[in-house]
Structure 1
């Protein structure tokens, strides 16, 4: 803790911190800080992160605002104070201190912070030396990069290599045949190519191979990407349609195969579901964690950037092999896809979404908005209007975002449920033409 914060609870440091906290509170609402609940600190954490790109947890904010009572008050480090100052319109904490001086009520004079000790000066000198060394290292690195002779011939060649799928459309399963088309002679680095097939599998390929195959097992629209030195340089598509709703199961951590559930007239069931016996008959150990992929993939004229989707979904109840009871919804477009997963609140580390180029996952981002227990069922509504995304759960807005790149027309949907769940009343309609799926 800062040595000055140990000297006096009501020192000039805490007086200025209190002023800053009050200004933050005034900016986000009229409720006094004394009436704040946990949700107010959660909301402030999100607002701070979006505005300053600095994440302060609700527990840290509670310590700063005095909500968490301790024997000595917490005085945050400068980076944290800078974030609070930036949130209310200042460049940093120093500017906030300068423009919000503490006036002694007896003398009318501006109070000044205690002078820096020799130890503090030494610490600052050490920091300046570290910054100088880091600057020298950075300049040296930039010079090396700029002076290095680029491998222009090979990279320019790679830009002219295209990924081609000879038979991109079919039913499931499907063996897609690929080839790399190249202009000019083959370079020595032709082995630096690989293909991400869009279904979680990646394969290194060589320009000397005239053809190579990939086996797709689940209906959908895939977007295989050609990579050169792990950088994307070209893409294509593989489109596997289904005549009606189909159900295929997969087992967690088993990437070797999937298990089709052979049932008749699945699309006529109300609700649409499969039983544990049917999954077991497909070859799945139902004591393990498994997923059921319900797919209906066919082309439409519905605009993937202007539509509304509604569905009632119930995920698996608590059972062996299922802890988080998640449900993932995929909307395939001509050029890209929309995907979002709803999962139990305690499991949001596994939450994720993709709306065209906007991709986030719970391991790196705060996706608590996608945390909801679907084991008893819930009504979902996804509305995308002019690339503005809003998700409603039981008629309440839960999440929103936006993206820039169009996905084109909707080419099918897939609903993946962990364990045995069901869905019903799935409708998709174009906001302008009113065409439905």
Structure 2
């Protein structure tokens, strides 16, 4: 157990050195958000901000991390699995035994001839090597028997789901049949977040859970921690939804958020939750998740106008993020005042660019005024325009799927003037002038 703790700390230290962000004692909530995004872009597995804070000791937690979490950390650190990380570091982590001389007698014994000593060393080496090979063979055989005894035929397992309503919170009823499982270790996981995993009975057939955030979630049925079945759970909104990010349940803004042609929750709405002050401003999100048909993320256009006048306390950077949510990824375009562009990050499909090591200065602007942002994607070639001027152009590799939603995220009470979406044929698919 102590060895595992030491190895975990070693892995976290390697990640810190890889990031180059300085002492983790100075990391902010935003740093952990960025780390979560970076891990996801590298491994395609998302570790939540809360999980990362627990690992780095920012949140009290007594349980040990799961094997999947350890595998994800190891993969981000550059290793194939947690086992590979252990094999690479366990020998180095063990202190060397200092050479000792056994005292047989007070009378010095004559030293054996060199040829006899060499023969004995060679014989001992051969015996040791033989024993190691035998142990390795036994291990492989045992592993094969265990794996075989727990093998599962996916075709014999059933797994489906159905939301009970529109919007959030939303209860989803999962229907499953895992009676063919050789093991009782069966669990259903809502999405990528391992904290949202619950064990279920092998003899059972229904399980309900609640989703608090809209979006395109990938639910999983696991047996012995192995994903056997998975499918998409599409949680839509009923028009525009405003919420304040909060763990584990967000705070939904019930006040009016559309007025005089603008989408905006007032700062007084945030203050009602006693979260907003001159020093501490929460993240405010606007969601519109709906069926846009077969609008492909590889070929579409998007345009909007935003501003964020909140500039006090931790919101001094006026950071704003505009996201096109996709079934297999996302397009996230950040904006901030010019002095804070080193803190922002750009995500386009599988491409993740940090402002810390990339020049994203073109995304700096005066957010106290309306900023017109346009995104054009054609065959995965992305062009980004700000106030009619092209500020960035690049290409990403992997298909992000179809467009499933729009999300605005503001540090403070940001506002949206309009939003428009076109397909590859320049046909207007969605438009909202907030009138």
TM-score (norm 1): 0.55
Query: 1:304-383 maps to which residues of 2 (within 5 A)?
Result: 304-333=297-326, 335-344=327-336, 346=340, 348=342, 351=345, 353=347, 355=349, 358=350, 360=352, 362=354, 366-369=357-360, 372-373=364-365, 375-377=367-369, 378-383=371-376
Tell me the CA shift for residue 198 of structure 1.
5.0
Matches within 5 A, 1:119-134: none
Matching of residues 155-166 of structure 1 within 5 Å:
155-157=151-153, 161=157, 163-166=159-162
Which of 283, 287, 292 matches 1:295? Answer: 287
Q: What's the C-alpha RMSD, in Å, of the aligned pairs?
A: 3.8
What is residue 277 of structure 1 aligned with on the other side? Answer: 268
Which region of structure 1 is more displaced relative to structure 2, 153-162 or 372-381?
153-162
For residues 97-141 of structure 1, give each alpha carbon's deviation from its aligned partner in whole angstroms, at most 9, with x where no partner exists. Answer: xxxxxxxxxxxxxxxxxxxxxxxxxxxxxxxxxxxxxxx9xxx9x
Q: Rate the CA distance shift 1:416–1:228 in 2: closer, same or farther, 3 A.
A: farther
Query: Which runs of no fewer than 5 residues in structure 1 stay unpaired?
Result: 1-135
Q: Which residue matches 1:154?
A: 150
The C-alpha deviation readout for 1:184-222, integer Å capped at 9, x for no partner, is: 14415x25x451525785324244354433322343333
2:421 aligned residue: 428
In structure 1, how many angstroms separate the alpha carbons of the residues matched to 2:192 and 2:165? Answer: 15
Q: Which residue of 1 aligns with 2:382?
A: 389
Residue 308 (structure 1) shift: 0.3
| Alpha carbons 2:310, 2:411 under 8 Å: kept | no
Q: Does 1:257 align with 2:257?
A: no
What's the CA shift string for 1:296-337, capped at 9, x where partnerless?
A: 22222333331100112223542123244332233234x334
Displacement, 1:367?
4.8
Conserved 8 A contact 1:199-1:222: no
Distance 1:159 1:296, change over 3 A: same
Contact 2:301 2:377 in 1 (8 A): yes
Give SS of 1:381's match: strand
Change in 2 beyond 3 A, CA 1:381/1:258:
same
Q: Name the CA shift for 1:247/1:222 in 2 (closer, same or farther; >3 Å).
A: same
Q: Is the 8 A contact 2:420 2:428 kept in 1?
A: no
In the alignment, structure 1 residue 167 sits paired with structure 2 residue 158: no
Q: How does 1:14-29 map to 2 (within 5 A)?
A: none
TM-score, reference length from structure 2: 0.55
Residue 430 of structure 1: how far off its partner (Å): 1.0
Q: Paired residues, what number?
A: 289
**Secondary structure of 2:330's match?**
strand
Question: Structure 1: how far apart are the matches of 2:360 and 2:393?
Answer: 6
Distance 1:379 1:200 in 2: 38
What CA distance in whole angstroms lies between the structure 2 residues aligned with 1:348 and 1:180?
47
Aligned equivalent of 1:78? none
- Contact 2:164 2:170 survives alignment (8 Å): no
**Alignment check: 8 A CA contact 1:352 1:367 kept:** no
SS at match of 1:321: helix
Cα displacement (A) at 1:281: 2.9
Alpha-carbon spacing, 1:382–1:418, altered in 2? closer, same or farther (3 Å): same
Matches of 1:293 and 1:421, distance apart in 2: 9
Q: Which residue of 2 aligns with 1:244?
A: 239
* Partners of 1:200 and 1:391 in 2: CA distance: 34
SS of the residue aligned with 1:166? Answer: strand
**Residue 254 of structure 2 aligns to a residue in which SS?**
coil
Residue aligning to 1:16: none
In 2 relative to 1, CA 149–242 (structure 1 residues): closer, same or farther, beyond 3 Å? closer
> Which residue number corresponds to residue 31 of structure 1?
none
